[in-house]
Structure 1
């Protein structure tokens, strides 16, 4: 597994892999830093803006941790601090690098930052960008995907479950497909390893609900129940 280094600068604590960003600094976690160098190559809107930038011939994703739901309307990005090891950025970085070392289809986490504010913290994470990939939701708005892809999705989810990896937000937006038809899973915030078996069926059902939700919202969403059966088949055979 990659050797994760740690550095404290003022009220910020950084984790990083020095083979990607050897001269790590707190400024690297700010989009303005990369914009000033004309290195932003794109952005995506979701719960806040995610930025993509290029550095040292690598493409990266910069994501700031933001709250969702009702509480997110009042407290946008502050979290209660109960120890560095429990912060969302540090948990996600260690989890992703553990999975990456096991050759699971997830992006590698390159760096994370936690900024203390009294009893609270804010956080950011930098990941490797998956090359030439789109999320499956966007693809299904335009075209159907082959049966083999749905089968692969089931296989990939089973791979995670065999390692007892729980994905907190397993939905169609967090499944990526690259130009080589490889499936990737992203967004492992609030995820981790879980014991037992009972949660796995609920995890699959969460994905199924997200498909029905998008089908109801988008009449041209190119998904059908038969696709879900192919996904389950891949899961059982995976």
Structure 2
């Protein structure tokens, strides 16, 4: 994976050069037909070409895109939640490119991906500056056929074996030092083979071992309560201890 930066007018794009160059076989994202530009991070670009194939639940309104013949991407805009969203839903304070949420998430995701950990392959992110503020969006490869753990729990399709694998996965990330500040049942996906993945690394970071690991698990447990699945935490913790 080769991360490269591109500056275009007021837009800064940090991208995986390999992913975008390979795309020339289908949509030719690096060609004059589909140039690498800020437009790739706007819903209108993909909708006008009939390439939006779905939408994920959640406040960010992530879109699923048919980026290649056999590969889909996820376009996720960075959006605020809570009371601060009433003031500004999409704008963040500009403190430099490397301190933007998008650049931090892409670099972190790429580092974990390179270690073989189950995170989606990052494709690119875009930061558009507006003086003292900025907006951002992220493109990642969609995990084929994946469903959120929350959905599986609600449907009664998460058995003990799966939950044990979820716990083992979380432990792997903790051993790598990942503090996932929003570990919840929606940010854990399960692919067609029943293997769990971790998504949405916004505001996450790498740290030395500490009490944050238990805080991650406690946050996950609170999210399970919302799906009437608090009992699932027993198997998750069992898998967490085994590895």
Equivalent of 1:27, from 39, 56, 69?
Answer: 39
Deviation at 1:224, TM superposition (A): 5.0
8 Å CA contact retained: 1:168, 1:190: yes
1:173 pairs with 2:186: yes
Deviation at 1:65, TM superposition (A): 0.3
5+ residue gaps, structure 2, are: 22-29, 31-35
Partner of 1:144: 157
Equivalent of 1:75, from 81, 85, 88?
Answer: 88
Give the TM-score normalised by the residue count of structure 2: 0.91
Distance 1:169 1:178 in 2: 20
1:54 pairs with 2:59: no
Q: SS at 2:18's partner residue?
A: coil
Q: SS at 1:235's partner residue?
A: helix
Range with greater deviation from structure 2 (4-13 or 38-47): 38-47
Range with greater deviation from structure 2 (41-50 or 178-187): 41-50
Deviation at 1:212, TM superposition (A): 1.1
Partner of 1:118: 131
Partner of 1:233: 238
8 Å CA contact retained: 2:76, 2:138: yes
Where does structure 1 differ by over 6 angstroms across 4 or more consecutive aligned residues? none
Give the TM-score normalised by the residue count of structure 1: 0.93
Q: SS at 2:212's partner residue?
A: helix
* Structure 1 vs Structure 2 CA RMSD: 1.1
8 Å CA contact retained: 1:20, 1:56: no
5+ residue gaps, structure 1, are: 216-222
Deviation at 1:181, TM superposition (A): 0.5
Deviation at 1:168, TM superposition (A): 1.1
